[in-house]
Structure 1
Amino acid sequence: MQRKRISLVVITIMMLSLLAVAIQPLAVCAGDALAIEVVSGSDSVKLTKAALLKMKTVTGNAGLIRSTGTLRGPYDYKAVTVSDLLAEVGGLGQGQGIQITASDGYTMTFSNSQVNGNVLTYDEAGKVLRIGDVSMALIFESEILGEDTLPRLAYIKEGANPITDGHWWVKSVAKIEVVDDVEDWVIPLEGLEKAEFDRATFESIATCPDTPHPTIEWETTDKQGNKEVYEGVALWVMVSMMDGGDSPQGHYRFNDDLARKGYKVEVVSVDGYSVELESMLIMRNKNIILAYKKNGEFLKESDGPLMLAGDDLPSRKFMVKQIAKIRLVDLP
């Protein structure tokens, strides 16, 4: 009996030792989780929280406004400005922007102007204040924001509590990369409601991993038989911004009842060329998309910023390029 007890004690000690060894690497992983990579061409640097703490840090509060108009925050923060992070790899030059990649693969591209703080700010009632007068920063400490969202991008201003659009607040940033600058654009929507969406909003919809309407790929061939892969968002998603289906509790809610009554979606190019699609054809149809990428690259100026694409278009004549406006016509 005594031998059995000794054996059990030995086995228990061995198991505890193995458990301690297994747990030790987890602590290292937890520390590494906050490391971010900053890249510019062949130059790159990985910055841990310890490295960020050695840089010039700023503290304060900032908030965000969702596309539904709901305000969130203010959130406390300790942060490093993105300009200081980019200085580690040579800074940001003219004609350059940045691409942010989150740990879950979500990406967003910021123009040179946006990196330099030229974005809309709002007051506590959600009304537009001005453009600019804020700095892009990376929050790495906060008592309110969950640790699982850090490091997190935001726009800040020392001594103030700026409020900016929520789609800028990229969570769990893993990589900041200097890329060629991108041109910002805005496409107006006219239907039961008037709205608009810009490049950042569209990219946010297209790349968010938690969205109920993820990026859609459409594969086709050109006249020479070469494979082409277009990426984008279903047309119905953007139609939902102007068809009266949205509610204070959510957005991108398509109005099925209105679609069944019948109307047409007019897609207009910058040169005035337009096509019309029946509401029942586009209703929750994943095979008619607004494409923004072709073969992994943003559309060229001759095609973009957006292009109508997909298997369910009546013909290739409906592949409108350089989309400038989308309207609902012949409404019931």
Structure 2
Amino acid sequence: MAESGKDKIIAGVLIAVIIVAAGVFAYYNLPKNENKENGVPILTVSYGNETYTYTLSQLEKIDDFSGKGSYKTSHGFIREAKGYTGVRMTELMDEIGAACNHGIEVIADDGYSVNYTCDEINGNVTVYDFSGNETGNGGVTMILAYSEDGDYNFDDGPLRIAYVNGQGTITSSKLWVKHVVEIKVI
């Protein structure tokens, strides 16, 4: 009788392990870019009286610019450089007919927003060395990133502002808005 009870417990544990393993397998094999597959709008851009919505696929067709970028936090920490792919902000503005004599307001999904000047849109921002010391201005490109190190489902996405170039230059974290959902030309 005791053997029968042990067998039932072992069978129950085995079933639980199989169910958990199947769930983990299914999770890791989900599509990496669900918004792209579904054609779900992930960005709203407004300029004057016009409003435009974009899916991930539409943003990829506008521009596919890649580079490396890093930022210095307000506490002085330097984040490791990562590879980003996205739409150059100047290209997105051209797409809607907005000359770069305008600024933009970038809004995150929690309502947080940052205003950018034309100079900042063109990459004329303060850059830092690995010790966090200012080294000058410019040499980077502002992008609306939709991929981080090749991953569409990165923690700060699906869209974020990034400043990139070939070297992974460091800029201020204040410029790197994450979870972007809206851009207003101002």
Q: TM-score, normalised by structure 1?
A: 0.42
- Residue of structure 1 in register with 2:177 after alignment: 170
Q: 1:34 to 1:70 in 2, by over 3 A?
A: farther
- Residue of structure 1 in register with 2:163 after alignment: 155
Distance 2:150 2:36 in 1: 23
Q: State the shift of 1:153 in Å.
A: 0.2
Q: Secondary structure at the match of 1:83?
A: helix
The one of 95, 98, 103 equivalent to 1:97 is 103
Paired residue type of 2:124: N
Paired residue type of 1:155: Y
- Structure 1 residues not aligned, in runs of 5+: 1-26, 180-332
Q: 1:125 to 1:34 in 2, by over 3 A?
A: farther
Q: How does 1:305-324 map to 2 (within 5 A)?
A: none
Greater Rg over alpha carbons, structure: 1
Distance 2:162 2:36 in 1: 25
Distance 2:68 2:155 in 1: 19
Instruction: State the identity as a percent.
Output: 29
Distance 1:48 1:164 in 2: 28
Distance 1:39 1:160 in 2: 33
Q: Deviations over 1:161-188 (max 9, x none)?
A: 1110011110011111110xxxxxxxxx
**Given that residues 101 and 174 in structure 1 are in contact (C-alpha distance below 8 angstroms), is that contact kept between their aligned partners in structure 2?**
yes
Once superposed, what is the RMSD of the aligned Cα atoms?
2.3
- Residue of structure 2 in register with 1:127 after alignment: 133
**Given that residues 140 and 152 in structure 1 are in contact (C-alpha distance below 8 angstroms), is that contact kept between their aligned partners in structure 2?**
yes
Relative contact order higher in (CA < 8 Å, ≥ 6 apart): 2
Q: 1:109 to 1:33 in 2, by over 3 A?
A: farther
Distance 2:41 2:82 in 1: 19
Q: 1:40 to 1:120 in 2, by over 3 A?
A: same
Q: 1:29 to 1:119 in 2, by over 3 A?
A: closer
- Structure 2 residues not aligned, in runs of 5+: 1-33
Paired residue type of 1:35: I
**Given that residues 84 and 164 in structure 2 are in contact (C-alpha distance below 8 angstroms), is that contact kept between their aligned partners in structure 1?**
no
Q: TM-score, normalised by structure 2?
A: 0.73
Distance 2:87 2:36 in 1: 22
Q: State the shift of 1:125 in Å.
A: 2.0
Distance 1:162 1:28 in 2: 29
